[in-house]
Structure 1
Amino acid sequence: MSTETITPADSAAESVTTLVERLARAGRAAQKVLARMPSPDKERALKLAGAALRRAGPGILEANAKDMAAGEARGLSSALLDRLRLNEKRLEAMAAAVEQVAVLADPVGDVIGEDARPNGMVLQRVRIPIGVIGIIYESRPNVTADAAALCVRSGNATLLRGGTEAMHSNRAIHAALVEGLVEGGVPAEVVQLMPTQDRAAVGAMLKAAGLIDMIVPRGGKSLVARVQAEATVPVLAHLDGINHTYVDHSADPAMAAQIVLNAKMRRTGICGAMETLLIDATYPDPHGLVEPLLAAGCELRGDARARAIDPRILPATDEDWDTEYLEAICAVAVVDGIDDALAHVARHSSGHTDAVVAQDQGVADRFLSEVDSAIVMHNASSQFADGGEFGLGAEIGIATGRLHARGPVALEGLTTYKWLVRGSGQVRP
């Protein structure tokens, strides 16, 4: 007979595990109903969900005000508070994103490959939903709406686990979304929000292989690292957004200055923000790149050659080249042309988004070809690393791995495929 003692923590963990299993099974059953819904019906339901978000706007903003007050009291960083904050403009953008997803082409049922075999069999590869997708995220309440919309449009059920800092906002957004979806005939269990903020719920989701088909983490490095280390469920994720902008000697100075300033300072707390500026040693106006950043309140940390550009640039440490600041801080290095820039990016990039500013097409082509990141840009701000800006309507995250999906993950990234084989009596000899 075992003498093992069951502690309250064990009991609570068991309860959370049971909860996750129950929600996942309910999501699985609801997803089967959703998978049978015609595309126009899913489109209508999402439009109703967008309208419901607008109707619930005052209540959502009131809930967000509670989260903001709690976050300020807890001492959240300015970057996290910016991610958390909702206002009328951001709320409208959230509702509009849901409606944009509604009218995107439905990937489910697309034939992505077809072949007739010599024996007369016809083979097709057809897109299908993944199934039940668990999404674990921090800070950004808009993820609740984006994830729900993308999952519904692609025929998936989703189990959402938002961060405690956005608890009231997430609940208000979820309630509005479900109201609209149900009005459109989508089962409420297609989009479920974890009803507890117990951290054990995250662990239970990560271990729910067979019940949850894929986990998507969106948050800080520690969250994503934990998910990747502990999950028995397949994970679609990225770690840091250590993004570089390389300004070649051939760059147009006015264009380069504008891109660099926007890449860092438009919104410092998003994963597409530039964290390291690389300047070609022969670029004619390096001060024209750093001055606007300094004037905008950005702290610059550079190597010896970068510090020679402006005395206000602080010394960089080894850690600065591998840091995702997510605030008004940027590392600056002077490099000896495209070869040195490529070497620096290869050593320090997290594989998220890297950009080159150059008029020399040969330099641009080398950068685009040789930088092994999910998104590589030429003469554009890294702040465009966003599913909406890519015409995808919204994104469930940006993946930096090499399997299944890479870059902004939207509708197609939330599908898999199956083989359909049509024969006429063939048997294998």
Structure 2
Amino acid sequence: MTSEVQQKGKLAKAASYILNIKTTCEKNEALTKIAEQLILDQEHLIAENAKDLAIGKENGMPSSTLDRIMLNKERVEAIASAIDLLVKLDDPVGKLLERIDKENGLVIEKRMVPLGVIGMIYEARPNVTIDAATLSLKTGNAVILRGSSSAKFSNVALVASIHRALEKTAIPVDAVQLIEDTNRETVKELFHLKQYLDVLIPRGGKALIDLVVNEASVPVLETGAGNCHIYVDHTADYIKTEKICINAKTQRPSVCNAAESLLIHHDWFSEHGVQLLNAIHHAGVTIIGDATVCQAVDYAQQATEDDYATEYLDLKISVKLVENVYEAIEHINKYGTNHSEAIITEDQLVADTFLNSVDAAAVYHNASTRFTDGFEFGYGAEIGISTQKLHARGPMGLPALTSTKYFVHGNGQIRE
């Protein structure tokens, strides 16, 4: 008996060949229809999402996870608006990257083309269902979605809306597939679906990402966890520091570009440290600090080695004092996840040392890590933030979902 994964893989592969010849106009029309359908279906989407939230609460799910799952009127409208923005972005498919005119008359063109079929394995956030589907369609890719059980009702409802929209367009409905069986075996099957999948993208916590990277035989685009740091140098301006630290930690603590660790130069800490920790603490953040931090404020909890490597995704932050920028860089390169790292300093040479030496997809000088995002970088919706170095790195928008192909035009030439 053919499994659901095999069946939907075959359908997606067939649809990908049809998508190859669809025009930008046809793809944009489909995206517009999807945005309209989400608004029409929003009451049903919110009702189905409420089922996931109720189950999550019953199972004692953390509030940060429930926040990632939640859909309300504002979030559905924001998702639809994001699709409208995506429609306005340039279609990278077919873009000429290079042209070579040979002496024998051959013309060689290197153009951007779709990847083919994208597999998406993700946790909690149902907005990823829409982001992955619409980004894939815009770039002429079919997509196979496999969300987690925590958002099952939401994902089924969202894909049903997508299918209703696609029925009114030139884009095949089979271009968007959802694996509804959330059993672990379906994930393992996707790992090795090389017959139908061209790339697999995991999006979620470190455990999920490591599992996919270590076990999949399908090529993987790794979207890493976000153990993001802020280093406060000895010349840091206090007002900038307080504003950036609180924003990076509290503006939305459940996302991967939120700051999880704070490193402070010991001289700066002597003058401003307690004031900064008090401000962060009063913003509702639990301070988990080294011995000096715990001596300075009585509300700090003692940090362990594991704390420095933890992506809290919550209102918690580890705090450690360092001697200089080099110790900060060493700490970050040891415990970081190559995602987003920031330095606050008024010394440009120190900033340059940090920015050039820290191994991360995005590095910041005097700004919050919360900007590592497809929208903020001008890509529209993102399919994830890549922390690897091959093919794509950082927020992955439309260009990251393409490959290249050489188009060679001749007039009877043969190789001597």
Matches within 5 A, 1:73-88: 73-88=58-73
Are the counterparts in 2 of residues 45 and 182 from structure 1 also a CA contact under 8 Å? no
Q: Which runs of 5+ in 1 are unaligned?
A: 1-14
Aligned-partner Cα distance in 2 for 1:315–1:119: 72
Aligned to 1:297: 284
1:425 shift after superposition: 4.0
Aligned to 1:388: 375
Aligned-partner SS, 1:29: helix
Aligned-partner Cα distance in 2 for 1:388–1:184: 26
Question: What letter is aligned with 2:3?
Answer: T
**Deviation larger for 219-228 or 103-112:** 219-228
Question: What letter is aligned with 2:232?
Answer: V
Aligned-partner SS, 1:183: coil
Aligned-partner SS, 2:188: helix
Aligned-partner Cα distance in 2 for 1:363–1:119: 54
**Deviation larger for 339-348 or 136-145:** 339-348
Aligned-partner Cα distance in 2 for 1:427–1:33: 32
Matches within 5 A, 1:183-262: 183-262=168-247
Aligned-partner Cα distance in 1 for 2:334–2:367: 22
Aligned to 1:335: 322
Question: What letter is aligned with 1:384?
Answer: F
Are the counterparts in 1 of residues 224 and 385 from structure 2 also a CA contact under 8 Å? no
Are the counterparts in 2 of residues 275 and 325 from structure 1 also a CA contact under 8 Å? yes
Are the counterparts in 2 of residues 257 and 288 from structure 1 also a CA contact under 8 Å? no
Q: Which runs of 5+ in 2 are unaligned?
A: none
Aligned-partner Cα distance in 2 for 1:305–1:348: 20
One of 237, 250, 256 as aligned partner of 1:271: 256
TM-score (normalizing by structure 1): 0.93
Question: What letter is aligned with 2:402?
Answer: T
Aligned-partner SS, 2:298: coil
1:118 shift after superposition: 4.5
Please state if 1:422 is matched with 2:409.
yes
Aligned-partner Cα distance in 2 for 1:280–1:119: 64
Are the counterparts in 1 of residues 201 and 223 from structure 2 also a CA contact under 8 Å? no
Aligned-partner SS, 1:196: coil
Length, aligned pairs only: 414
Matches within 5 A, 1:113-128: 113-128=98-113
Aligned-partner Cα distance in 1 for 2:109–2:266: 54
Flag as ranges the 4+ runs of structure 1 deviating above 4 A: none
Listed one character per residue, the Cα deviations across residues 52-71 of structure 1 (whole Å, up to 9, x for unaligned) are: 10111111111111110000
Report sequence identity in percent: 40
1:374 shift after superposition: 1.0
Matches within 5 A, 1:265-414: 265-283=250-268, 284-414=271-401
1:161 shift after superposition: 0.8
Matches within 5 A, 1:18-167: 18-167=3-152
1:120 shift after superposition: 4.1
Listed one character per residue, the Cα deviations across residues 115-143 of structure 1 (whole Å, up to 9, x for unaligned) are: 33444433221100000111111100000
Question: What letter is aligned with 1:64?
Answer: N
Aligned-partner Cα distance in 2 for 1:346–1:198: 36
1:75 shift after superposition: 0.9
**Deviation larger for 355-364 or 126-135:** 355-364
RMSD of aligned C-alpha atoms?
1.5
